[in-house]
Amino acid sequence: MTLKLTKNELRSQQTRFVQFLRYLPTLQLKKAMLQFEVGMAAAEIQSLTEEWRTAWVRVEGFSPFLLEKVTVNLVEYADVLHVKKSYENIAGVEIPIFQKVVFREPEYFLFDTPPWTEGASAFLRELVTAREKMNVAEEKKRSLEKELREVSIRVNLFEKVLIPRAQENIKKIKIFLGDQQLSAVAQAKVAKKKIFLRGA
């Protein structure tokens, strides 16, 4: 698009420039908030990974019992029906928040199972819950990182393209209009001189 070298275009470019300068701090603030939230999400994932490892160690303590032939399949105790999540808006991004894991309740008769079954199933569920918490936290981090990339692109566009281009356009128009004004003054002086010489 060619730049019109007129006063109207100068006003338009100046208005656009002011709008860019007003909007840029908002984008920069959003970028900073998202960077903070991504860092918090990474720390949360690290904490949940430790929680999962702790649960894994507890389940490993029951591994000798898992080799026994029993009438109950312990995996059924950790069968996930669904993961309940809520969503929260952080810096314009809908992010998932872990609520709870809903497990399928296996049918069994208490006296048909070994005494350690309840403890082992509780630890298995704890392990699965820890894994699902990690999955939700990773989904949250991915959403935040995606939005951070998009906002960073916009900030760069404003800082490196739109604002400098508007400044350059304003400068070009002002130079052109200044040159036109000088030319008009010079022509007026020449015309005045000619009129003066004719009258003499």
Phi, psi of 162 (to 5 degrees): -65, -50
pLDDT in tens, 103-121: 988 776 666 777 777 778 8
Q: What is the 3-state secondary structure (H, E, C) of the chain?
A: CCCCCCHHHHHHHHHHHHHHHHHHHHHHHHHHHHHHHHHHHHHHHHHHHHHHHHHHHHHHHCHHHHCCCCCCCHHHHHCEEEEEEEEEEECCEEEEEEEEEEECCCCCCHHHCCCCHHHHHHHHHHHHHHHHHHHHHHHHHHHHHHHHHHHHHHHHHHHHHHHHHHHHHHHHHHHHHHHHHHHHHHHHHHHHHHHHHHHC
The first and second tokens of residue 39, run together, are: 């860092």
pLDDT in tens, 125-171: 999 999 999 999 999 999 999 999 999 999 999 999 999 999 999 99
pLDDT over threshold 70, residue 200: no
Q: What is the mean pLDDT of residues 62-81?
A: 73
Confidence class for position 14, pLDDT limits 50, 70, 90? very high
| pLDDT > 90 fraction of the chain, expressed in percent and rounded | 60
**Model-level pTM?**
0.79
Domain 7-199 of CATH type 1.10.3210.10: no
pLDDT over threshold 90, residue 71: no
Give me the residue spans of the domains in the chain: 7-199
Question: How far apart are the C-alpha atoms of 130 and 51, rounded to whole Å?
Answer: 6
Confidence class for position 183, pLDDT limits 50, 70, 90? confident
pLDDT over threshold 90, residue 60: no
Minimum mean pLDDT range among 41-45, 86-90, 176-180: 176-180
CA distances in angstroms from 142 to 27, 34, 45, 77, 81, listed in the order given: 20, 12, 12, 30, 24
pLDDT over threshold 70, residue 70: no
**pLDDT (0 to 100) of residue 3:** 85
